[in-house]
């Protein structure tokens, strides 16, 4: 993209239409990598369990926020869960992974103690409700990415 | 009279080019655990956490939001600071203010950068006003290149002297278990064979891009004496900023430009009765992004007369065994995880005072040490450390 | 204590680590404001470099600014046209290509970037003509070369293509 400078009508003020574009990569780390690889290779969703606080974090993380303990114990959680809350987004934006209308949800998977942010699909926005039971739908072609889960769909 | 503040815990990760085995928060946690172990404290003893990071260098805005747990800041006061190159120094000063004010008794200062995640020079270039357009994209390197040229033209220093600065840094880094670049360089010629990056700076004239974190635990006088037998006192700090992105010139011998280093050290020296820095201070950990800047900073901080910085290197005065050792850790030339870099300066200076630097402990006894931070367009932060007040 | 740098081990296979790539241009609209806007206007309309003079310390700041960085007083509109000739004071040039965040590409800038001491004693940062780098010298006399096409001007400092050695 090139940049353009434009003079404001009737004023000695100029506007520079620019961009900042830098290639970045985020290291998932050892635990984060395991989490993404399990989704890609085995369609399994993993969490980590804090033995001190007896809590399972999903997505898997390596440090407990309450006790600062190092979490080494990876546990598989269910691909089914309960919608804690949701929102319907109608305003398109380049950062969105799919086209609008797009439904974001926070899902507590069975066996997890935390909410997991993802998209909800195969659902009429009118029929959404808190407490709804949902299940993960995985993409056929999967990369090691959170978007290898296509969305969560309502359980029949 | 503000409360006295001591460094009671020091921790850092090893520093390296790539850390794919950890994400950014996990890397920081390693340094936090090291500092807690050093102070023999638990995370519950830490009342507030102040973090330092060059936001967007890893492409993430508000990185502190994603790591409260990992830096031990969950449900605690504190905030992140970002002042460019001086970021880590600002966080140390911030922690010092908070403890000296009496607001907290034990505070933690956390600095980090994971440069395998982004493009640092691009990020620095993006901080320049867009009006200068295409070609301003040399980040900090271009500035230090021009400074090097001016220094060469006016002081009589040669490329060989710059190479000797790298050799000193490398010898020291090889003795430091946490340092990043450990090249085992043997001769000036090896440095002079390294290719140009931005003329006249060679790759070995400039600091690396490192992944790493450094943590300090600060405590008030009463607490400090209970926590450790070897508190290192922060005797004084000084912060000087100046107008950014004017046609300011690094290394300007015309005297037109104001150097924040001059302003900062003159104030700090005056308050602390330092009349001859090389006699009154025992060592310095300075923020030298390039070989040339180290010689320049010797002069700015009055370790020698103007135009004579290169003579200190030539005579070996600033070597680890020398009369006035500078950067026994290997310095920024060896290790540069940007947000952590100025904290490492303070941490390494404190280790020298404690006598805990191990293989890179200076030969002479260190009772007083100066740590500097440099950033932005010529910003300076100084921290003066003492074994006893 | 934290782990020290690991010793390089022979051929130990690293487990698979994931790096999530995220590349997205972030757009912005940056306003020059009136003082800097005047600099843009003078460059486009008259091919002039302008600064303004501080009413207190009399120092000239370029580009024009609202507040004197030294005296912290309002600068006002004492505009000064700057000479377009000067002396190369410092210069450098890129050897390795670097990523340019404003353009989203890796770019080996062929133009040396320089600090030029204009003939009225003001420092000005710009670039030099793309010529033989070995012939560059501190002290070279240079002059601004403007974009001739009126329509192409309007980009402030970039309305000057480069500074060129005088007498060439």
pTM of the complete model: 0.92
Query: Per-residue pLDDT averaged across B67-95, rounded?
Result: 92
For residue C3, what is the DSSP state? P
- The closest alpha carbon to A112, from A50, A34, A33, belongs to A50
CB B316 within 8 A of CB B298: no
Closest chain B CA to residue C36: B131
- Architecture of the domain delimited by C83-168: Beta Barrel (2.40)
Instruction: Pick the more confident residue, B254 or C72.
Output: C72
Give me the pLDDT at residue B130, please: 67
Does A27 sit within 8 Å of B123, measured CB to CB?
A: no
Give me the pLDDT at residue B12, please: 97
The ranges assigned to domains in chain A are 4-154
Q: How confident is the model at residue B169 (pLDDT cuts 50, 70, 90)?
A: very high
Q: What is the pLDDT of residues C71-123, one digit of tens each?
A: 889 999 999 999 999 999 989 888 888 887 877 788 777 889 888 999 998 88
Q: How far apart are CA B247 and CA B240, in angstroms?
A: 18
Residues of chain A with C-beta less than 8 angstroms from the C-beta of B118: 22-25
Does A25 sit within 8 Å of C20, measured CB to CB?
A: yes
**Residue B313, CA atoms < 13 Å, CB-side half-sphere:** 28
Give me the pLDDT at residue B119, please: 80
Instruction: Pick the more confident residue, B66 or A8.
Output: B66
Q: How confident is the model at residue B35 (pLDDT cuts 50, 70, 90)?
A: very high
Q: Burial letters for C46-79: b for 16+ Cβ neighbours within 10 Å, e otherwise?
A: ebbbbbbbbeeeebbbbbbbeebbeeeeebeeeb
The ranges assigned to domains in chain C are 33-82, 83-168
pLDDT above 70 for B256? no
Give me the pLDDT at residue C21, please: 86
Q: What is the pLDDT of residues A70-84, one digit of tens each?
A: 998 999 999 999 999
Nearest CB partner across the interface for A15, out of C19, C22, C29: C29
Q: What is the pLDDT of residues C14-52, one digit of tens each?
A: 899 999 888 778 888 888 889 989 999 999 999 999 999
Give me the pLDDT at residue C75, please: 92
Residues of chain B with C-beta less than 8 angstroms from the C-beta of A25: 59, 116-118
Query: Per-residue pLDDT averaged across C56-77, rounded?
Result: 90
Residues of chain A with C-beta less than 8 angstroms from the C-beta of B60: 24, 26
pLDDT above 90 for B29? yes
Low-confidence residues in chain A, pLDDT < 70 = 1-4
Does A94 sit within 8 Å of C29, measured CB to CB?
A: no
Which three-class secondary structure state does DSSP give residue A108?
strand
Return mean pLDDT, chain B: 91
Among A1, A4, A5, A96, the residue to mutate for chain C (most C Cβ within 10 A): A5
Instruction: Pick the more confident residue, C90 or B119.
Output: C90
Question: Structural domains in chain B?
Answer: 5-120+209-227 (3.40.47.10)
Give me the pLDDT at residue B77, please: 94
pLDDT above 50 for B247? no
Q: Tell me which residues of chain A, numbers 2 to 31, contact chain C at a CB-CB cutoff of 8 Å.
A: 2-3, 5, 7, 11-30
Smallest Cα distance from A6 to chain B, Å: 12
Percent of chain B at pLDDT exceeding 90: 76
Does C4 sit within 8 Å of B178, measured CB to CB?
A: yes
């Amino acid at each position: 993209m090139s940049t353009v400078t434009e003079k404001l009508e009737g004023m000695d003020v100029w506007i520079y239409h620019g961009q900042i574009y830098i290639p970045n990569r985020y290291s998932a780390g050892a635990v984060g990598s395991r989490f993404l690889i399990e989704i890609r290779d085995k369609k399994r969703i993993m969490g980590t369990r804090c033995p001190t606080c007896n809590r399972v974090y999903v997505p898997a993380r390596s440090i407990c926020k309450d006790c600062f303990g190092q979490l080494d114990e990876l546990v598989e959680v269910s691909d089914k869960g309960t919608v804690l809350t949701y929102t319907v987004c109608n305003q398109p934006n380049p950062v969105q992974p799919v086209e609008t209308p797009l439904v974001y949800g926070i899902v507590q998977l069975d066996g997890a103690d935390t909410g997991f942010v993802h998209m909800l699909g195969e659902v009429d926005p009118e029929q959404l409700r808190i407490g709804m039971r949902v299940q993960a739908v995985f993409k056929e072609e999967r990369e090691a990415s959170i978007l290898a889960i296509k969305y969560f769909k309502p359980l029949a | 009279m503000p409360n006295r503040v001591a460094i009671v815990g020091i921790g850092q990760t090893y520093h390296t080019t790539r850390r794919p085995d950890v994400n950014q928060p996990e890397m920081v946690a390693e340094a936090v655990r090291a500092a807690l172990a050093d102070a023999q404290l638990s995370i519950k003893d830490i009342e507030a956490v102040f973090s330092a990071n060059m936001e967007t260098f890893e492409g993430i805005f508000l990185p502190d939001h994603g790591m409260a747990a990992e830096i031990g800041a969950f449900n605690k006061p504190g905030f992140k600071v970002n002042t460019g190159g001086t970021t880590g120094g600002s966080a140390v000063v911030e922690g010092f203010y908070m403890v000296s004010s009496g607001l907290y008794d034990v505070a933690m200062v956390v600095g980090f950068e994971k440069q395998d995640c982004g493009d640092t020079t691009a990020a620095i270039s993006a901080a320049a006003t867009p009006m200068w357009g295409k070609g301003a994209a040399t980040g900090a390197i271009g500035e230090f290149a021009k400074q090097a040229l001016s220094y060469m033209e006016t002081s009589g220093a040669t490329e060989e002297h710059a190479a000797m600065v790298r050799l000193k840094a490398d010898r020291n880094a090889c003795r430091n278990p946490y340092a990043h670049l450990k090249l085992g360089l043997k001769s000036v010629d090896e440095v002079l064979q390294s290719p140009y990056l931005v003329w006249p700076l060679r790759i070995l004239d400039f600091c690396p891009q490192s992944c790493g974190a450094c943590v300090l635990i600060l405590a008030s006088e009463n607490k400090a004496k209970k926590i450790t037998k070897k508190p290192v006192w922060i005797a004084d700090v000084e912060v000087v900023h100046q107008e950014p992105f004017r046609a300011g010139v690094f290394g300007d011998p015309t005297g037109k430009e104001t150097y924040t280093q001059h302003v900062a050290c003159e104030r700090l020296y005056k308050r602390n009765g330092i009349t001859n820095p090389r006699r009154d201070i025992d060592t310095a950990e300075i923020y030298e992004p390039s070989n040339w800047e180290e010689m320049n900073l010797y002069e700015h901080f009055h370790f020698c007369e103007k135009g004579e910085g290169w003579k200190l290197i030539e005579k070996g005065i600033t070597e680890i065994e020398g009369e006035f050792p500078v950067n026994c850790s290997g310095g920024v030339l060896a290790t540069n995880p940007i947000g952590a870099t100025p904290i490492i300066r303070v941490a390494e200076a404190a280790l020298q005072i404690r006598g805990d630097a191990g293989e890179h402990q200076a030969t002479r006894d260190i009772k007083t040490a100066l740590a500097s931070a440099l950033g932005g367009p010529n910003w300076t932060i100084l921290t003066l450390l003492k074994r006893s007040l | 204590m934290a782990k020290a740098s690991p010793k390089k081990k022979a051929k130990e296979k690293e487990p698979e680590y994931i790096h999530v790539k995220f590349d997205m241009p972030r757009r912005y609209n940056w306003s020059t404001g009136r003082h800097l806007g005047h600099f843009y206007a003078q460059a486009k309309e008259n091919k002039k470099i302008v600064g303004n003079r501080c009413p207190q310390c009399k120092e000239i700041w370029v580009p024009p600014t609202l507040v004197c960085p030294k005296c912290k007083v309002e600068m006002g509109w004492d505009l000064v046209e700057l000479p377009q000739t000067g002396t190369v004071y410092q210069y450098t040039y890129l050897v390795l290509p670097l990523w340019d965040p404003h353009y989203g590409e890796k770019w080996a800038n062929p133009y040396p970037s320089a600090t030029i001491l204009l003939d009225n004693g003001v420092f000005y940062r710009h670039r030099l003509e793309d010529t033989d780098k070995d012939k560059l010298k501190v002290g070279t006399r240079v002059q601004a070369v403007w974009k001739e096409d009126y329509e192409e001007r309007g980009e402030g400092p970039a309305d000057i293509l480069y500074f060129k050695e005088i007498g060439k």
